């Protein structure tokens, strides 16, 4: 039985979708519900026929539903349409605390995998909230909201990365985070720095000017650069 959601059940009749809703946000919600219900394992490919059969149990128009999931970006497919797979976490997945950190003992030592949930990121501040949730659960203090703090964290001297011989960070729903940490969030971040006398106004004024001229990097790009400076930390974007 697929999980229910108040935003989705209004479009169902006896648990089945008779037609995709018209409004984009409603179509997107239904597509996410269908994607999780028919492709419960993230990134696990499924053949076209089997996916269509699964959709037929939930939707009156399984082919149209399959096409909508692809068009709305919740599901990807091979060029020939032979296989489909889900590419993002949905509200029906919900990483539990036990799933946020995974440890595996290997011949090369302890391999620790950390999962960031991009659905929780809608600003620079909430990005650091998510880092603290995942990396700092065992600490009695929180990471400050700065790129220097992120750099220190990835060095592994404290937090969940500490003590691991190999670290992988899986950033789920990265596209959503990238949008949230895009131009608008970056501009707001620089304006906040300019309003704080503790920071170098000339430095951040220049960065703001570059951003507005299309030359500057977004906060998401800056975060990726910090990760790139740590080749011992594998970053997987999903």
- 144-155: per-residue pLDDT in tens? 999 999 999 999
Higher pLDDT among residues 123 and 100, named by residue: 123
- 77-98: per-residue pLDDT in tens? 999 999 999 877 777 766 554 5
Whole-number pLDDT of residue 222: 97
Neighbouring residues of 155: CB distance < 8 A, sequence distance ≥ 6: 230
Backbone angles phi, psi at 162, to 5 degrees: -65, 135
- 117-131: per-residue pLDDT in tens? 888 899 999 999 999
CA separation for the pair 189, 191 (Å, rounded):
6
Q: Which two tokens stand for residue 171?
A: 């950033």
Whole-number pLDDT of residue 94: 60
Superfamily classification of domain 97-182+218-237: Barstar-like (3.30.370.10)
Whole-number pLDDT of residue 71: 92
- 223-235: per-residue pLDDT in tens? 999 999 999 999 9
pTM, two decimals, is 0.61
- 155-214: per-residue pLDDT in tens? 998 998 898 999 999 998 899 999 999 999 999 999 999 999 999 999 999 999 999 999
Domains of the chain by residue range: 6-86, 97-182+218-237
Q: Which two tokens stand for residue 142?
A: 């929180």
3-state secondary structure of 233: strand
In this prediction, residues 13-30 reach a mean pLDDT of 89
Alpha-carbon torsion 53, 57, 60, 64, what sign? negative
Whole-number pLDDT of residue 101: 76
Alpha helices (runs of H) in the chain, residue ranges in sequence order: 6-9, 24-38, 48-56, 62-71, 97-100, 124-135, 147-154, 174-180, 183-194, 201-212, 219-228
Rounded to the nearest 10 degrees, what angle do helices 24-38 and 48-56 cross at?
110
- 28-72: per-residue pLDDT in tens? 889 989 999 999 887 789 999 999 999 999 999 999 999 999 999
In this prediction, residues 128-146 reach a mean pLDDT of 90
Whole-number pLDDT of residue 99: 63
Q: Give the right CATH number for 6-86 from 3.30.450, 1.20.120, 1.10.150, 1.10.10.
A: 1.10.10
Whole-number pLDDT of residue 172: 87
CA separation for the pair 163, 110 (Å, rounded):
8
What is each CA distance from 41 to 35, 44, 52, 75, 85, in whole angstroms? 10, 6, 16, 12, 8
């Amino acid at each position: 039985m697929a999980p229910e959601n108040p935003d989705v059940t209004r479009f169902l009749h006896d648990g089945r979708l008779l037609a995709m809703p018209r409004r984009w946000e409603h179509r997107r919600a239904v597509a996410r519900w269908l994607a999780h219900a028919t492709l419960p394992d993230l990134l696990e490919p499924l053949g076209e026929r089997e996916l269509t059969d699964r959709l037929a149990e939930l939707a009156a128009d399984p082919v149209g539903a399959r096409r909508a999931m692809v068009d709305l970006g919740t599901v990807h497919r091979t060029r020939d349409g032979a296989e489909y797979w889900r590419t993002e976490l949905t509200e029906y997945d919900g990483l539990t605390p036990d799933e946020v950190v995974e440890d595996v003992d290997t011949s090369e030592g302890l391999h620790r995998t950390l999962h960031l949930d991009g659905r929780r990121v809608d600003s620079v501040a909430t990005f650091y909230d998510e880092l603290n949730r995942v990396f700092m659960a065992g600490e009695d203090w929180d990471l400050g909201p700065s790129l220097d703090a992120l750099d220190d964290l990835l060095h592994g001297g404290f937090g969940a990365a500490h003590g691991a011989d190999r670290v992988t960070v899986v950033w789920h729903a990265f596209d959503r985070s990238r949008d949230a940490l895009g131009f608008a969030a970056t501009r707001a971040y620089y304006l906040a720095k300019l309003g704080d006398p503790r920071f170098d106004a000339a430095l951040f004024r220049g960065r703001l000017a570059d951003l507005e001229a299309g030359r500057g990097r977004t906060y998401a790009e800056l975060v990726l650069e910090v990760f790139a400076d740590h080749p011992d930390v594998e970053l997987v974007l999903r």
